[in-house]
């Protein structure tokens, strides 16, 4: 998972409107050569409050299983799901409840009048447990 030039082109126009960002997944910034830096560095260089949630806990992410619902109290102006939710399931398998719970978490992390960007790349093959071929923006 990670950000590409296309992902950045969708997010950059929104950045002047937000002061906090939550990434689902420890995302790498693939605009740069490998080993690609984490997007945390890009957001923090622009003065944004930043949180990433990833089951692995890598890059000091909040290590949570998004197939479970959490009572998030902090809200973020921008939530980016650049492919993490397609991997959410139960016991490594597709599960509707897990997908629903992930979407509940996404909504619980965004405040009123905020933006949620969910993006799955159409690659010609299914990479995760689910696939979405549209980008959603919720305000």
Contact 102, 94 (CB under 8 A): no
Burial class (CB in 10 A: 0-12, 13-18, 19+), 67: buried
Q: What total number of domains does the chain contain?
A: 1
Structure tokens at 99: 């997908």
Q: In this structure, what CATH number is given to the domain that contains residue 110?
A: 3.40.50.150
Average pLDDT, the chain: 83
Q: For 80-139, write each residue's pLDDT tens digit.
A: 888 888 888 888 888 889 989 998 999 899 876 566 666 655 444 444 444 444 444 444
Supply angle C-alpha 1, 29, 75, rounded to 5.
75
Q: Which domain holds residue 86?
A: 2-138
């Amino acid at each position: 998972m990670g950000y590409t030039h296309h992902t950045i082109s969708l997010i950059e126009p929104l950045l002047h409107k937000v002061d906090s960002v939550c990434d689902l997944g420890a995302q790498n910034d693939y605009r740069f050569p490998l080993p690609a830096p984490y997007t945390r560095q890009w957001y923090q260089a622009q003065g944004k409050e930043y949180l990433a949630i990833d089951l692995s806990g890598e890059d000091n992410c909040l290590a949570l299983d998004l197939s479970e619902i959490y009572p998030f109290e902090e809200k973020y102006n921008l939530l980016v799901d650049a492919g993490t939710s397609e991997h959410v399931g139960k016991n490594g398998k597709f599960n509707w409840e897990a997908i629903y719970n992930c979407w509940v978490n996404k909504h619980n992390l965004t405040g009123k009048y905020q933006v949620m960007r969910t993006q799955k790349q159409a690659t010609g093959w299914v990479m995760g447990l689910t696939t979405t071929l549209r980008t959603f923006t919720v305000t």
